[in-house]
């Protein structure tokens, strides 16, 4: 199961990416904007992985109860 610390790090990565993207837009810095989009996407993918891991653990627990 994805632990709380990892989940928090992944969410923080996504939020930092959003901030970079907005900062890049505000300053017309296309490189910063692109970097922010990338960071935001990486954080989102990691969060999706956390959800899959949690779902798999839930399924394992369900079958172990028998």
pLDDT for residue 66:
57
pLDDT tens per residue across span 25-42: 999 999 999 999 999 999
* DSSP letter assigned to residue 14: H
pLDDT of residue 46: 96
Residue-range definition of the domain harbouring residue 17: 4-64
Residue indicated by tokens 């969060």: 47
pTM (two decimals): 0.81
Per residue, the 3-state secondary structure of 1-66, as one string, reads CCCHHHHHHHHHHHHHHHHHHHHHHHHCCHHHHHHHHHHHHHHHHHHHHHHHHHHHHHHHHHHHCC
């Amino acid at each position: 199961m994805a632990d709380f610390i990892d989940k928090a790090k992944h969410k923080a990565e996504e939020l930092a990416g959003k901030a970079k993207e907005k900062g890049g837009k505000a300053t017309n810095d296309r490189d910063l904007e692109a970097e922010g989009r990338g960071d935001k996407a990486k954080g989102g993918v990691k969060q999706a992985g956390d959800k899959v891991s949690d779902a798999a653990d839930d399924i394992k627990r369900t079958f172990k109860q028998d």
